[in-house]
């Protein structure tokens, strides 16, 4: 028989700072885990809180946001604007980097204390690492990569992309507690007049639970991440040579966007692997995706089909990318790109 | 050291899926394959075994599915897995599948469990980490590299804007994505012949109540035809993006 050992270990480990009598609020709430990046939140954090707030509205409940790590008060307060009524701030030296097992214990215990009925995380690397573990710990079904508010509460039905974007599914979550991971850039952020109460909490974590040991970190800082970018300019084999990338990069810079590429391009080593966008690479949903010299194979489309607007530039008028694109230019990328750059510069100066 | 690779049986990724009554997948003409990320995991496991013969004793694949998915298991054996396990049940949901696989791992101990980051059918990214929680194993997700250095396993994890190298004690579950190996290993004729005689151990499922259920499928909304702009007038496109779409 399987025994979920963690659940037998639960006792009240969470306590309010400088107070002996922590009153457990048994009113059910929506818990949202808001990760930070070097002490800062990003647009996706506000999407998460806006989404959690939408669910709380449906449930006539309130949103509690949980932050783990060193985040200053003004940054924490910013979560309030998107509808969080309470922000729990937990600082713990053992939780500096992600250990899926330890994070699960902490978030799970806090969810129990709050009597959270819905737990919202991002469908990013962290959410994907923690949400499934929480699911087992709390016996709570996961709606993975949801992109809309539930269409119904009883039964609790969520909507998600399946078959890599070739279809969508309505999924019923049958458990009492529901865990949802939100697809990035799928939910509008909604600013409100709301202000949140911030509470610093402690958690008495057994350091032995943290088993992953970080040996080395290789990180580029200051670069706009492909998954965060609202505008992405992407190149395919039609760019013909790695030496032709300058105008593509210039266009992306002018638009304040990031650069991406198709699989053959990263396989050839023309561009770094981090830029590979598609089914087996990064799955992105920017507001604008400009595909240059990309024919549009199913596997590529699977990675970009959630983009709000797709523009395709391709020399072949029959390229499948035009079936997905909203706007298209049939032409040589090496001529069209400089033209776009010039037009953009003119539009900006005008 | 024993490695287990969990595999899913999915429609070939170029399949245009169709549903009957918005709920039943129309399987006519579908080519079933090993989930691409699981195939990468299997390839990497075999590379590690080949490169560390004394250290890695065996590579096993495990699958939850009915007998109809055996051709996919045989393919994994043909690629080079030493043996296979099949839990004889429809894979109802991720929780159900993970519970079955955890049971298998309890029975036949494995030091390293490898799972693909997601399956190309339900795109859940959940089974691997669920297995780890059932067993109270450590887990690392977004893994883009597994190497053995001086007898120790070093895992590369993708993080925003970079990567981390980390170590963790056995046993553990690694949930892997692109990068762990370059290309999936191709089956050779000899492998196909040998696969016929490799064992597939059948487990009957334990009773587990699924936590989720798909009630209907929808197709993506039909999109309007592409609006073409003259290649000599890129300014027109910029104007549309700026003033009509208001996205730049």
pLDDT tens-place string over residues B227-236: 999 999 999 9
**Amino acid A20: pLDDT:** 37
Residue B237 included in any domain: no
State whether A237 and A329 are in the same domain: yes
Tell me: pLDDT of A4 over 70. Answer: no
Tell me the nearest-neighbour CA distance from A347 into chain B, angstroms: 8
Of A176, A209, A242, which one is at a domain's C-terminal end? A209
Q: Which of A7, A101, A130, A207 to mutate to test the interface with B (most CBs of B within 10 A)?
A: A101
What's the pLDDT score for residue A19?
A: 40
pLDDT digits (tens, 9 = 90+) for A216-261: 999 887 788 999 999 999 999 999 999 999 999 999 999 999 999 9
> Which one of B211, B216, B218, B219 makes the best mutation probe of the A interface by having the most chain A beta carbons within 10 Å?
B211
Tens of pLDDT, residues A168-184: 999 999 999 999 999 99
pLDDT band, residue A331 (cuts 50/70/90)? very high
Specify if B230 maps to a domain: no
pLDDT of residue A349: 83
Report if residue A214 sits inside a domain: no
Chain A residue with Cα closest to B141: A129
pLDDT above 90: residue B99: yes
In a domain? residue A92: yes
Residues of A in contact with B36 (CB under 8 A): 279-280
Of A209, A242, A269, which residue is a domain's last? A209
Residues B96 and A8: their CA atoms lie apart, in Å, by: 21
Residues of B in contact with A100 (CB under 8 A): 129, 132, 138-141
Do A28 and A159 share a domain, yes or no? Answer: yes
Q: How confident is the model at residue A161 (pLDDT cuts 50, 70, 90)?
A: very high
Interchain contact A300–B (C-beta under 8 A): no
In A, minimum Cα distance to B170 occurs at A211
CA atoms within 13 A on the CB side of B223: 17
Residues A173 and A253 occupy one common structural domain: no
Q: How many residues does chain A have?
A: 350
Q: What is the predicted pLDDT for the residue at A348? A: 83
- At residue A236, the pLDDT reads 98
Q: Would you say residue A112 lies in a domain? A: yes
Separate counts of helices (H) and strands (E) for chain B: 6, 15
Predicted local confidence at residue B47, as pLDDT = 98
* Domain carrying residue B53: 2-220
Dihedral of the alpha carbons of B94, B98, B101, B105, in degrees to the nearest 10: 160
Buried b (16+ CB within 10 A) or exposed e, A147-164: beebeeeeebbbbbbbbb
Evaluate if residue B113 carries a pLDDT over 50: yes
Distance CA B220, CA B218 (A): 7
pLDDT band at A9; cut points 50, 70, 90: very low
- What is the per-residue pLDDT for A14? 55
For chain B, give the mean pLDDT.
Answer: 96
CATH number of the domain at B19, please: 3.40.50.620
Question: pLDDT at residue B194 above 70?
Answer: yes
ipTM of this predicted complex? Answer: 0.96
Has residue A7 got a pLDDT over 90? no
Q: How would you class B20 by CB atoms within 10 Å of its CB: exposed for 0-12, middle for 13-18, buried for 19 or more?
A: exposed
**B125 CB near a chain A CB, below 8 Å?**
yes
Strands A156-162 and A231-235: unpaired
CA dist A100 and B246 (Å) reads 40
Confidence of residue B13 (pLDDT cuts 50, 70, 90): confident
* SS3 annotation, chain A: CCCCHHHHCCCCCEEECCCCCCCCCCCCEEEEECCCECCECCHHHHHHHHHHHHHHHHHCCEEEEEEECCCCHHHHHHHHHHCEEEEEEECCHHHCCCCHHHHHHHHHHHHHHHCEEEEEEECCHHHHHHHHHHHHHHCCEEEEEECCCCCEECCEEEEEEEHHHCEEEEEEECCCCEEEEECCCCCCCCCCCCCCEEEEEEECCCHHHCCCEEEEEEECCCCCCCCCCCEEEEECHHHCCHHHCHHHHHHHHHCCCEEEECHHHHHCCCCCHHHEECCCCECCCCCEEEEECCCCCHHHHHHHCCCCEEEEEECCCCCCHHHHCCEEEECCHHHHHHHHHHHHHHHHHC
Q: Read off the pLDDT band of A6 (50, 70, 90).
A: very low
Q: Is residue A220 part of a domain?
A: no
Where residue A122 sits, what CATH number does that domain have? 3.40.50.620
Considering the entire predicted model, what is its pTM?
Answer: 0.92
> Quick one: A192 and A275 in the same domain?
no
Which residues of A are less than 8 Å from B238 in CB distance? 340, 343-344, 347
Look at chain B and report how many structural domains it folds into: 1
Q: Which domain holds residue A157?
A: 5-209
- For residue A1, pLDDT beyond 70: no
- Distance from the Cα of B5 to chain A's closest Cα (Å) equals 18
Per-residue pLDDT at A12 exceeds 50: no
Residue B244, Cβ neighbours under 10 Å: how many? 9
Specify the pLDDT at position B160. Answer: 87
In B108-212, which residue ranges form alpha helices assigned H by DSSP? 127-135, 189-195
In a domain, B51, yes or no: yes
Residue A105 has pLDDT above 70, yes or no: yes
Question: CB-side exposure of B25: number of CA atoms within 13 Å?
Answer: 19
**Residue A2: predicted pLDDT:** 39
Can you tell me the distance from the alpha carbon of A122 to that of A105, in angstroms, rounded to the nearest whole number? 18
pLDDT (0 to 100) of residue A334:
96
Within B73-183, strands assigned E span 83-87, 112-116, 138-149, 152-159, 162-167, 172-176
Give the three-class secondary structure for B20.
Answer: strand
Q: B19 in contact with A at a CB cutoff of 8 Å?
A: yes
Least confident among A285-289, B209-213, B222-226 = B222-226
Please judge whether A214 and B242 are an interchain contact, meaning their C-beta atoms are less than 8 angstroms apart.
no
Span B124-148, average pLDDT: 97
Same domain? A57 vs A201? yes
Residues B145-164: what's their mean pLDDT?
Answer: 94
The domain tally of chain A equals 2
**Domain final residue pick, A179, A209, A239:** A209
Contacts for B80 with CB less than 8 Å, ≥ 6 apart: B42, B46, B59, B185, B191
Question: What residue has token string 């080079």?
Answer: B80
Res. A186 pLDDT band, cuts 50 70 90: very high
User: Locate tokens 């919202």: which residue?
Assistant: A120
Q: How far apart are the first and last CA of chain B?
A: 54
Per-residue pLDDT tens digits for A14-72: 554 444 334 444 567 899 999 999 999 999 999 999 999 999 999 999 999 999 999 99
pLDDT band at B136 (very low <50, low <70, confident <90, very high): very high
Considering only alpha carbons, which residue of chain B is nearest residue A162?
A: B122
A201 bridge partner residues: A16, A90
Whether A273 is in a domain gets the answer yes
User: Which segment of A69-73, A130-134, A222-226, B55-59 scores lowest on mean pLDDT?
Assistant: A222-226
Is residue A74 assigned to a domain?
yes
Same domain for A168 and A23? yes
Q: Are residues A176 and A264 in the same domain?
A: no
Could you read off the pLDDT of B74-94 as tens digits, one per residue?
999 999 999 999 999 999 999
Q: What is the pLDDT of residue A62?
A: 96
Same domain, A194 and A255: no
Interface check B31 vs A, CB under 8 A: no
Question: By the 8 A CB rule, do A235 and A250 touch?
Answer: no
Residue % of chain A over a pLDDT of 90: 87
Based on the domain organization, do A13 and A108 belong to the same domain?
Answer: yes
Q: Which two tokens stand for residue B137?
A: 């194993």
Give a yes or no: residue A215 inside a domain.
no
């Amino acid at each position: 028989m399987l025994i979920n050992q963690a659940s037998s270990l639960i006792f009240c480990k969470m306590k309010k700072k400088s107070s002996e009598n922590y009153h457990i609020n048994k009113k059910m709430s929506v818990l949202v885990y808001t990760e930070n990046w070097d002490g800062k939140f990003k647009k996706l954090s506000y999407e998460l809180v806006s989404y959690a707030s939408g669910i709380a509205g449906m449930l006539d409940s309130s949103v509690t946001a949980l932050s783990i790590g060193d985040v200053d008060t003004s940054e924490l307060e910013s979560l309030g604007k998107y509808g969080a009524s309470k922000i729990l701030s937990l600082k713990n030296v053992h939780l500096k980097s992600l250990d899926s097992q330890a994070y699960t214990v902490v978030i799970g215990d806090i969810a129990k204390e709050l009597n959270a009925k819905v737990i919202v995380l991002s469908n990013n690397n962290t959410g994907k690492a923690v949400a499934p573990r929480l699911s087992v710990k709390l016996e709570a079904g996961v709606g993975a990569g949801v992109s809309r508010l539930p269409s119904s509460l009883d039964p609790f039905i969520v909507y998600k992309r399946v078959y890599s974007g070739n279809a969508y599914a309505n999924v019923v979550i049958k458990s009492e507690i529901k865990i949802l991971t939100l697809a990035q850039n799928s939910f509008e952020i909604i600013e409100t007049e709301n202000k949140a109460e911030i509470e610093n909490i402690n958690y008495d974590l057994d350091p032995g639970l943290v088993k992953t040991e970080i040996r080395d970190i290789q990180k580029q800082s200051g670069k706009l991440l492909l998954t965060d970018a609202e505008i992405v300019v992407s190149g395919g084999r039609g760019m013909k040579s790695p030496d032709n990338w300058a105008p593509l990069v210039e266009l992306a810079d002018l638009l304040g966007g990031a650069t991406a590429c198709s699989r053959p391009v990263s396989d050839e080593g023309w561009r770094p692997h981090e830029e590979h966008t598609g089914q087996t690479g990064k799955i992105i949903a920017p507001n604008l995706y400009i595909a240059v010299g990309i024919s549009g194979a199913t596997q590529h489309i699977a990675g970009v089909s959630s983009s709000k607007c797709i523009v395709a530039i391709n020399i072949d008028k029959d390229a499948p990318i035009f079936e997905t694109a909203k706007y298209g230019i049939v032409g040589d990328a090496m001529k069209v790109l400089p033209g776009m750059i010039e037009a953009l510069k003119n539009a900006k100066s005008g | 050291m024993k490695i287990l690779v969990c595999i899913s049986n999915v429609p070939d990724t170029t399949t245009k899926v169709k549903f009957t009554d918005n709920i039943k997948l129309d399987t006519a003409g579908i080519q079933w394959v090993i989930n691409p990320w699981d195939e990468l995991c299997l390839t990497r496991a075999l590379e590690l075994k080949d490169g560390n013969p004394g250290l890695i004793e065996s590579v096993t694949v495990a699958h939850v599915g009915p007998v109809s998915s055996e051709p996919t298991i045989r393919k994994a054996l043909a690629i080079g897995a030493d043996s296979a396990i099949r839990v004889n049940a429809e894979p109802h949901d991720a929780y159900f599948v993970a519970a079955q696989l955890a049971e298998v791992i309890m029975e036949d101990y494995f030091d390293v469990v490898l799972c693909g980051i997601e399956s190309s059918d339900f795109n859940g990214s959940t089974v691997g980490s669920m297995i780890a929680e059932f067993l109270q194993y450590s887990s690392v997700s977004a893994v883009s590299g597994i190497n053995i250095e001086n007898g120790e396993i070093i895992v590369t994890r993708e993080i925003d804007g970079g990567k981390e190298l980390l170590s963790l004690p056995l046993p553990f579950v690694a949930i892997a994505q692109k990068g762990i190996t370059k290309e999936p290993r191709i089956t050779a004729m000899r492998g196909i012949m040998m696969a016929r005689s490799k064992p597939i151990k059948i487990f009957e499922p334990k009773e587990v109540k699924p936590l989720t259920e798909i009630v209907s499928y929808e197709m993506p909304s039909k999109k309007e035809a592409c609006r073409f702009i003259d290649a000599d007038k890129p300014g027109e496109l910029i104007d549309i993006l700026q003033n009509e779409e208001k996205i730049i």
